[in-house]
Amino acid sequence: MNLIKSLIDFFAGTNVVRTENEGALYDFLIKQRITYDTLSDGVFRLRSRDAERHKDALASIGCKTDAQRGFPAYFKRYRKRAGLWLGALIFASLTVLSQRIVWNIEVTGCRRPDEVKRNLEELGFTLGTDFKRMDLDRLHNDYLRTYDDLSWISVNMEGTYAHVEASDLDMPGEEYDAGPVNVVASEGGRITGIEVREGRAAVSIGDFVAEGDLLIGGVISVRDEKMLLKSADGDISAEVVRTFDVRVPKIRTDKEYTGEEFTEKSILFFKNKIKISGNSRISCPTYDKIYNNETVYIFDSLPLPLSVETVTYKAYAETSRHVTEDEARDLFEKLYPQRVDEALDGASLTSVSYSDTETESEYIRTYEIKCTAVISKEKTINAG
């Protein structure tokens, strides 16, 4: 419905009307039964016919009307340029013919949509495919026989858009049951908290444990003269010590742009790339490449499989200099928050200390943090 309205507005022509007195304009539009779109605060879009007919009335309530937009405006501006209209006719013809072609593919419902698109491409379904000649039911079966990442897949065409619904073979949250487990220590420390939900605690508050030590044992029960193992479950907290290094090179390389740059532009149509400008080159061997890709839309709502890629090359020179101890200390302070968050990994910080050393090439600060963390992890019981 939005596309149809956009088409009507384009061919009928529209004008943007701006006002600081929205109330007066609302009253006028409602009274005259004029169709409008609200673009933003104080900015409205009217059909050109209504804007022209009520031009004086709109001006009298403080409205400013912008220049006309849409097909009528283009026709007035370019009506004497036969080549342009011939090109537009050819383009319109190609657009009609391309209704058989896949212009866009959207994959939902799975964790790896890009991989699904690559697999579909290997099976012959991609941008530019004539989907009228594709047996989609056969495509579904071929995918499931060829690849083992999905439990089911469905390709639904809506016009020239392919909406692919898929479901992973191993959905998140489904875990393999390896059997009964004990709870052991993921790292060493001094026990500060014990919460047992199932099983028997093998440690007490204040005990020191090493990585891999048993914390909660699985329950052993006897039923009908058979020994049964039940998984242990619980959370064991401990005060642990963790260390990490922050390193700063003594030689720093700075980048400074020289001001030399040039731009290349290309048209991307499906998977074809046509260069349209940019033949010069940067003399400097070091440069950054900045990409910008703009999709072309029809009537501001329908995206085409056509885009303009702009690549900007910006030359820079590299200079090296020695990093002082004061600069290194500043960098240590800047890098510390991120590194300590990584080291804590959800634990509660108790205290921190550090020591500084250096080599011929680096300044090194070694941090030692004490924190309270949950150190319990599951380990499968070896029944043998």
Regarding whether 222 and 155 lie in a shared domain, the answer is: no
pLDDT at 379 over 80: yes
Do 342 and 300 share a domain, yes or no? no
Tell the burial category of 6 from Cβ atoms under 10 Å away from its Cβ (0-12, 13-18, 19+): middle
What tokens appear for 79 in the block? 């009506």
> Which of residues 168, 194, 225 is at a domain's end?
168
- Is 229 a member of any domain? yes
Q: Using the predicted structure, report yes or no on whether residue 1 has a pLDDT greater than 50.
A: no
- Would you tell me how many other CB atoms lie within 10 Å of the CB of residue 358? 14
354 plus 313 within the same structural domain: no
**Above 50 in pLDDT, residue 75?**
yes
Tell me which DSSP letter residue 186 carries.
Answer: S
Tell whether 93 is covered by a domain.
no
Determine, yes or no, domain membership for 89.
no
Does 353 have pLDDT greater than 50? yes
Claim to verify: residue 7 and residue 71 sit in the same structural domain:
yes
Q: How confident is the model at residue 10 (pLDDT cuts 50, 70, 90)?
A: confident
Looking at the fold, whether 307 and 343 belong to one and the same domain comes out as no
Scanning 111-255, the segments in alpha helix (DSSP H) are 113-122, 136-146
Domain shared by 213 and 262, yes or no? no
- pLDDT one-digit tens code per residue, 280-290: 666 778 888 89
Contact 258, 284 (CB under 8 A): yes
Domain membership flag for residue 231:
yes
DSSP sequence for 239-303: EEEEEEEEEEESEEEEEEEEEEEEEEEEEEETTEEEEEE-----SSS-EEEEEEEEEEEETTTEE
Q: Residue 69 is part of which domain span? A: 2-77
CB 176 within 8 A of CB 170: no
Residues 273-293, buried b or exposed e (16+ Cβ, 10 A)?
eeeeeeeeeeeeeebeeeeee
- Please compute the mean of the pLDDT values over residues 348-367 and round it to a whole number: 96
Residue 274 has pLDDT above 80, yes or no: no
Mean confidence (pLDDT) of the chain: 84
On the question of pLDDT at 339 being above 90, the answer is: yes
* Tally of domains within the chain: 5
The string of pLDDT tens digits covering residues 298-337 is 656 666 667 788 989 899 998 999 999 999 999 999 999 9
Would you say the pTM of this structure is higher than 0.75? no
Residue 47 sits in a domain of what CATH number? 3.30.70
Are residues 160 and 207 located together in one domain of the fold?
Answer: no
In a domain, 277, yes or no: yes
Same domain, 72 and 6: yes
Residues 200 and 216 in one domain: yes
What pLDDT shows up at residue 82? 60
Strand, helix or coil for residue 192: strand
Q: Do 289 and 345 fall within a single domain?
A: no
Q: Is residue 174 part of a domain?
A: no
Question: What DSSP state is assigned to residue 112?
Answer: -
For residue 103, pLDDT over 80 is answered with no
Q: Does 147 map to a domain?
A: yes
Cα pseudo-dihedral 369, 370, 376, 380, rounded to 10: 50
Query: Given this model, what pLDDT does residue 244 score?
Result: 96
Domain assignment of residue 84, yes or no: no
The segment with the largest mean pLDDT, out of 66-70, 73-77, 85-89, 119-123, is 119-123
User: Using one digit for the tens of pLDDT, what is the confidence trace for 80-95?
Assistant: 666 655 666 656 665 6
* Domain CATH number, residue 121: 3.10.20
Confidence of residue 143 (pLDDT cuts 50, 70, 90): very high
Q: Measured between alpha carbons, how far is 26 from 65 in angstroms, rounded to an integer?
A: 15
Please tell me the chain's helix, strand, coil percentages from 3-state DSSP, rounded to the nearest 5: 25, 45, 25
